[in-house]
Amino acid sequence: MHEQWEAAMRLALTQAHEALATDDVPIGAVVLSPTGEPIGFGRNVREADADPTGHAEVVALRQAAQAVGEWRLEGCTLVVTLEPCTMCAGAAVLSRVERIVFGAFDDKAGAVGSLWDVVRDRRLNHRPEVISGVLADESTRMLVDFFSQHRS
């Protein structure tokens, strides 16, 4: 099942790598249209833009909404290298994406099953499908390398 998402995750990994140029945490995202076409790309830009909401998922969702011409991203898929945090999981729910595909789990801030499970909360009016672990080793390796250089 993961194989069908690997090409999109590779696009997200490319975005994550580009975040390194601005010393941002290497997390990348892509939004796929209902037909599988990439319509939104994002990488962390918190450092680059001095923006606390500059997470890869939010950047990609904004770009996808502009491409579609509305905030509802029904039928779309959010692909991201790291499990979304509470803000990004909430943004995915509010944008009505059909599914979230992510690579590595985030035990410290993940909100799609690790620390919290925002997207499966039955009190919310929309619950996207979740597919986890796609190219998780590549995502994890990039993050481990980044933090080992920044904490030494």
Quick one: pLDDT band at residue 20, thresholds 50, 70, 90?
very high
**Is 55 assigned a ligand-binding role in the annotation?**
yes
8 Å CB contact between 88 and 111: yes
Residue 63 has a pLDDT of: 98
Q: Residue 110 phi/psi, 5° resolution?
A: -65, 135
| Spatial distance between the Cα atoms of 57 and 36, rounded to a whole number of angstroms | 17
Whether 138 is a known active-site residue: answer no
Tokens 């009505």 belong to 96
**Is 76 assigned a ligand-binding role in the annotation?**
no
> 136-145 b/e with 16+ CB inside 10 Å = b?
bebbeebbee
| Spatial distance between the Cα atoms of 28 and 45, rounded to a whole number of angstroms | 10
Exactly one of 57, 83, 98, 138 is catalytic; name it: 57
The tens digit of pLDDT for each residue in 73-103 reads: 999 999 999 999 999 999 999 999 999 999 9
Residue 128 has a pLDDT of: 97
Phi-psi region for residue 39, left (φ > 0), alpha (ψ -120 to 50) or beta? alpha
The tens digit of pLDDT for each residue in 37-77 reads: 999 999 999 999 999 999 999 999 999 999 999 999 999 99
The DSSP letter of residue 125 is: S
CB atoms within 10 A of CB 122: 5
Q: What is the pTM of this model?
A: 0.96
- In 3D space, the residue among 128, 67, 122 whose CA is nearest the CA of residue 94 turns out to be 128
